[in-house]
Structure 1
Amino acid sequence: MYIFRGGGYATPGQVSPTEIQAHLAKWNAWTNGLLAAGKLAAAQPLEHPPSGKTLRGRDRVVTDGPYAESKDLVSGTLVVEAASLDDAAALARDCPIFEFDGSVEIRPVLLLPGK
Structure 2
Amino acid sequence: MKGTTLLKHYEQLDYVTEQMLISAHKEDWNTLLSWQSQYSQLSENIIELDGTLTTEHVPTQCKDRVRMYIQNILSYQQQISQLVTTRHAELGELIGEKIRQQTKIENYQHVANLI
Higher share in strand: 1
Structure showing greater Rg: 2
Name the TM tier (shorter chain). under 0.3
TM-score by structure 1 length?
A: 0.27
Higher share in helix: 2
Which has the bigger relative contact order, CA under 8 A and spacing at least 6?
1
